[in-house]
C-alpha cells in the first residue's frame, strides 16, 4: 500500500501541464480561465478553493460539495469523499472535479466541437471530452431540471447544455488505477493467509420442500437470496420450538451453504469448520445416522457464511470431499449492487461482480434508467468492486424498476447487468 500512497503523492504535488491547464475551452465558455484559474483537480485543497472562489453557500453546500453561484453559473466543487476508500491526504480535503451548471438554459445545438474532443453517447446525454480532463455534457432529450436542490423545476431541451466539468486528465486517472490494481494484487497476495478461517453459523427448524429434487439421495447447494432459500426450505413449527433460524435480512450480508441427505435414516451433522483458500471455501463436517425401517427422511445441514467473491465451495464430509460447486454454474454469487446516500448532494452506487473488472483505456459508465455517471473508483483491495458517485439531483430522476447497467465505452469492452432499481433498499 505504501507504493500507492507514494504514487498519489507524486500526482498531487508534482506540477503537471495536464492538471493545470485546459487549452481546449470553447469560445464563450472559458469558465475555468474566468473563475477557477489556479485550481487543479487531484491537487488543490478546500483551502485553495476558498482562496480562489471565496466562501461557499452554506445552505446549499454538502459535506463533499462546495456550492458557489457567480454570473449565472452554479459552480459545484466536488471533494473526494471521506468514506475509507481514499488515502487520508485526499479524502475530505482535495478537489475531485469542478462542475459548472447554467441557471438558465444554454443551447449547444449549433456547437461544432473541434477534433480535440471525443464523444461518448449515453441514454439521455452526449459527453464531449478531451485529453486534459475537460468535458461538456449536452442533453439529447428534453428533461425536467431543478435549479438547486430546492428550486422550481424548469425544462432543458434536446441540445441544451447539462454541465461543463473540469477533472484530472484521463491518462492520470487511468495510470493511477492501473498502478493501484497491480499494487493491490501484491498486497492481497502478501497479506492473505493461506488458509483463512471464515465465521459461520448453523441453523435448525427447517424442512426440505418435497418439490426440490425429491428423488436425489444427496444435494449440495449455495443460496444467495431469500427467494431462492424459500424454494428449498420451509419453517417447521413444533410445540416449545427453540430452533435457531436465519435472522431477518440475513442475505444482505450472508450466504447459505447447504447439504441435504435423503433416505431411511435420520442424519445428524456436526460442523468442524469453514475455511477459505484462494477463493475456494471448504466446509468440513461429520455425519451420524440413525436408521429407520418405517419412514424416509430429508435431513438438511444449513450453514451461513459472509458473502464474498468466492470461486467455489467444497463439501468435505467425514474427511472426504463429496462435492465441489463452481460458483456461477451452480447458483452461486450474482452481480450485486449497494446504494448509499452520502449526504444531500451525492449518492454512492457500489457494484460488485464475480471476477475483477478488466483494466481498459476507456471510460466506465453506470446507468440507472436514463441517468448516467462516469465518476468511479475501485474499492479498497477489491478489484471486482467499483463505487460510482451520482449527484442526488440525477438520482432523484431515477425510478423504481429502472435497469442498472455498468459498461465500458464502447460496450464491446465489457458490460454488466445489476438488475432493477429498488429505492426501498437505498441506505441513508
Residues 6+ apart with CB under 8 A from 59: none
Q: Which CATH number fits domain 336-425: 2.60.120, 2.60.40, 3.40.140, 3.90.1150?
A: 2.60.40
**Ranked by mean pLDDT, which of 79-93, 94-108, 149-163, 316-330 comes out on top?**
94-108
pLDDT at 260 over 90: yes
- Residue 14 burial (10 A CB sphere; 0-12, 13-18, 19+): exposed
Q: Say if CB 418 and CB 336 are below 8 A apart.
A: yes
Cell numbers representing residue 274 in the block: 469453514
The pLDDT value given to residue 11: 44
Give mean pLDDT, residues 343-353. Answer: 90
Cell numbers representing residue 180 in the block: 493501484
Question: How many angstroms separate the CA atoms of 412 and 415, rounded?
Answer: 7
Query: The whole model's pTM is what?
Result: 0.46
Radius of gyration from C-alpha coordinates of the chain: 26
Mean pLDDT, all residues of the chain:
83
Within 208-310, residue ranges assigned H as helices are: 226-232
The pLDDT value given to residue 176: 61
Q: Which range has the worst mean pLDDT, 179-188, 202-211, 216-225, 323-332?
A: 323-332
pLDDT at 267 over 90: yes
Antiparallel, parallel or unpaired: β 73-79 and 65-70:
antiparallel
Q: Residue 303's pLDDT band (boundaries 50, 70, 90)?
A: very high
pLDDT at 298 over 80: yes
Residues 6+ apart with CB under 8 A from 189: none
Which residues is 347 bridged to in the sheet? 341, 390
Q: Residue 4's pLDDT band (boundaries 50, 70, 90)?
A: very low
Residues 241-259: pLDDT tens digits?
788 999 988 888 899 999 9
More confident residue, 215 or 411: 215
pLDDT at 13 over 50: no
Task: Count CB atoms within 10 A of the CB of residue 164.
Answer: 22
Give mean pLDDT, residues 74-83. Answer: 90
Candidates 255, 213, 253; CA nearest to 232 is 213
Candidates 211, 202, 304, 199; CA nearest to 249 is 304
The pLDDT value given to residue 175: 66
Give mean pLDDT, residues 299-322. Answer: 91
pLDDT at 329 over 60: no
The pLDDT value given to residue 115: 93
Q: Domain coordinates of the chain in residue numbers? A: 2-188, 196-326, 336-425
Antiparallel, parallel or unpaired: β 371-373 and 376-379:
unpaired
Interhelix angle 2-13/170-191, nearest 10 degrees: 160
The pLDDT value given to residue 358: 75
Residues 166-184: pLDDT tens digits?
998 877 677 666 666 666 6
Q: Say if CB 386 and CB 363 are below 8 A apart.
A: no
Residues 14-58: pLDDT tens digits?
334 334 478 999 999 999 989 988 899 988 999 999 999 999 998
Residues 213-229: pLDDT tens digits?
888 899 988 888 888 89
Cell 459498461: give the residue: 407
DSSP, residue by residue, 7-45: HHHHHHHS--HHHH--TTPPTT--HIIIIITT--TTT-B
Amino acid at each position: 500500500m505504501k507504493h500507492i500512497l507514494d504514487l498519489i503523492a507524486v500526482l498531487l504535488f508534482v506540477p503537471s501541464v495536464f492538471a493545470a491547464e485546459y487549452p481546449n475551452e470553447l469560445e464563450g465558455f472559458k469558465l475555468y480561465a474566468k473563475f477557477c484559474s489556479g485550481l487543479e483537480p487531484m491537487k488543490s485543497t478546500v483551502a485553495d478553493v476558498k482562496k480562489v472562489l471565496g466562501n461557499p453557500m452554506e445552505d446549499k453546500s454538502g459535506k463533499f460539495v462546495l456550492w458557489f453561484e457567480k454570473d449565472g453559473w452554479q459552480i459545484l466543487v466536488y471533494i473526494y469523499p471521506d468514506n475509507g476508500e481514499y488515502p487520508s491526504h485526499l479524502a475530505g480535503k482535495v478537489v475531485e472535479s469542478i462542475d459548472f451548471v447554467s441557471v438558465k438554459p444554454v443551447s449547444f445545438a449549433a456547437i461544432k466541437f473541434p477534433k480535440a474532443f471525443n464523444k461518448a453517447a449515453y441514454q439521455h446525454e452526449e459527453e464531449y471530452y478531451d485529453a486534459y480532463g475537460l468535458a461538456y455534457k449536452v442533453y439529447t432529450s428534453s428533461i425536467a431540471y431543478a435549479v438547486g436542490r430546492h428550486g422550481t423545476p424548469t425544462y432543458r431541451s434536446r441540445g441544451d447544455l447539462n454541465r461543463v466539468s473540469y477533472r484530472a486528465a484521463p491518462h492520470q486517472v487511468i495510470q493511477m488505477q492501473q498502478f493501484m490494481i497491480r499494487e493491490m494484487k501484491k498486497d492481497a497476495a502478501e497479506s492473505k493467509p493461506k488458509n483463512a478461517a471464515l465465521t459461520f453459523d448453523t441453523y435448525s427448524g427447517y424442512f426440505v420442500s418435497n418439490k426440490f429434487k425429491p428423488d436425489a439421495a444427496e444435494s449440495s447447494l449455495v443460496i444467495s437470496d431469500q427467494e431462492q432459500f424459500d424454494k428449498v426450505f420451509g419453517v417447521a413449527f413444533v410445540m416449545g420450538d427453540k430452533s435457531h433460524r436465519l435472522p431477518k435480512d440475513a442475505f444482505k450480508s450472508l450466504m447459505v451453504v447447504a447439504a441435504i441427505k435423503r433416505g431411511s435414516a435420520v442424519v445428524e451433522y456436526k460442523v468442524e469448520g469453514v475455511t477459505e483458500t484462494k477463493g475456494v471455501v471448504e466446509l468440513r463436517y461429520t455425519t451420524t445416522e440413525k436408521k429407520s425401517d418405517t419412514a424416509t427422511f430429508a435431513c438438511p445441514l444449513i450453514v451461513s457464511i459472509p458473502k464474498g467473491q468466492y470461486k467455489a465451495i467444497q463439501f468435505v464430509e467425514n474427511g472426504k470431499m463429496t462435492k465441489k460447486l463452481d460458483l456461477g454454474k451452480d447458483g452461486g454469487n450474482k452481480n450485486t449492487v449497494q446504494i448509499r446516500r452520502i449526504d444531500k448532494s451525492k449518492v454512492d452506487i457500489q457494484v460488485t461482480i464475480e471476477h475483477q473488472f478488466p483494466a481498459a483505456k476507456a471510460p466506465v459508465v453506470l446507468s440507472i434508467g436514463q441517468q448516467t455517471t462516469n465518476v468511479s473508483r475501485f474499492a479498497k483491495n477489491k478489484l471486482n468492486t467499483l463505487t460510482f458517485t451520482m449527484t442526488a439531483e440525477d438520482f432523484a430522476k431515477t425510478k423504481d424498476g429502472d435497469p442498472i447497467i455498468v459498461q465500458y465505452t464502447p460496450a464491446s469492452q465489457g458490460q454488466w447487468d445489476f438488475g432493477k432499481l429498488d429505492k426501498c433498499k437505498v441506505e441513508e
